[in-house]
Structure 1
Amino acid sequence: METKYLQLNQIIAYKKSFHLSNLIWEITSNWDSFAKHTIGRQFVNAIDSVSANLAEGFGRYHKKDKIKFYYYSFGSVKECLDWNEKARVRKLINEETYSKIFATLEILPKEIHQLIKFTNEKLKI
């Protein structure tokens, strides 16, 4: 009997944040150089940090290490909410794009907390 292990690409928070990071990359790549080098760079770094920290946490052995990186990811989601708001207020993105990004950012903390809860309950180490 083969044991099936959870894979990174099966984690909903990871998949959503990875796809969102590519969307934000596409959007910010088209901004003028000032916007790209100020808000764009920060926004991309923050959103890339969400999936990257989920991946790094997933790759850690100990439960406490995993959860630490999942919390870093959670903090990056909150940072992205700020950058998304600034991009909207400064008219770098329209309301539709803002709402699309916001909808995913609003769901991610719940997904990350579910991952933390799962990790706490299922792992012994």
Structure 2
Amino acid sequence: MMIEQFEDLDIWKEARELCIHIKEICENSKFSKDYTLKNQILSSSGSIMDNIAEGFERGGNKEFIQFLFIAKGSCGETRSQLYRAKDFGYVSVEKSEELIKTTSILSKKISALINYLKRSSLKGAKFKNNNLKPKP
């Protein structure tokens, strides 16, 4: 399958699903009252999918890789916040462990794509035409 838009990327789809699950746990009455943590985890989980999308739309591997690293960092941030939510009793042990595992797997998949892009001779849309040169 050819990847033509960021919506075709499995990691973006998985990040979107994670974001939905995070929103659902934030609706817990205890969690919803901790505005700081709730806003942080909603922001960091959304940042995963947003940075994958933004990097893809930049059109070059170098920038895409940079944004994938940011997405990976946001994935780690979300995982850390899930531990806090679990420790504070905002989310069940079972649900938190499920989402922590999801973030860990997603992080590994983002790393795999980064490594693939680093090795790839494909350089993205910006570099397809030999008459176009990358901007400094």
TM-score (norm 2): 0.81
Q: Which residue of 2 aligns with 1:76?
A: 74
Per-residue CA deviation, residues 34-76 of structure 1 (Å, 9 max, x unaligned), is 31x1211100000000011001111112221111100000100
CA contact (8 A) 2:41 2:81 kept: yes
Amino acid at match of 1:97: K
Amino acid in structure 2 at the alignment position of 1:95: V
Shift of the 59–110 alpha-carbon distance from structure 1 to 2, 3 Å rule, reads same
SS in 2 for 1:93: coil
Which runs of 4 or more aligned residues in structure 1 lie more than 4 Å from their structure 2 counterparts after TM superposition?
Answer: none
- The secondary structure found in structure 2 opposite 1:123 is coil
Distance 1:71 1:15 in 2: 17
Specify the alignment match of 2:96 in structure 1: 98
**Alpha-carbon distance, 1:85 to partner:** 0.3
Q: State, as a whole percentage, how many aligned pairs show the same letter.
A: 28
SS for the counterpart of 2:29 is coil
For residues 1-125 of structure 1, the aligned pairs below 5 Å read: 5-6=2-3, 7-32=5-30, 33-35=32-34, 37-120=35-118, 121-124=120-123, 125=127
For the aligned residue pairs, the C-alpha RMSD in angstroms reads 1.6
Q: Which runs of 5+ in 2 are unaligned?
A: 128-136
Q: Which ranges of structure 1 fall in alignment gaps of 5 or more residues?
A: none
Q: Deviations over 1:84-115 (max 9, x none)?
A: 00000000000111011011111012110121
d(CA) in 1 for partners of 2:121, 2:48:
23
**Given residue 15 of structure 2, which amino acid in structure 1 is its aligned partner?**
S
The structure that has the greater radius of gyration is 2
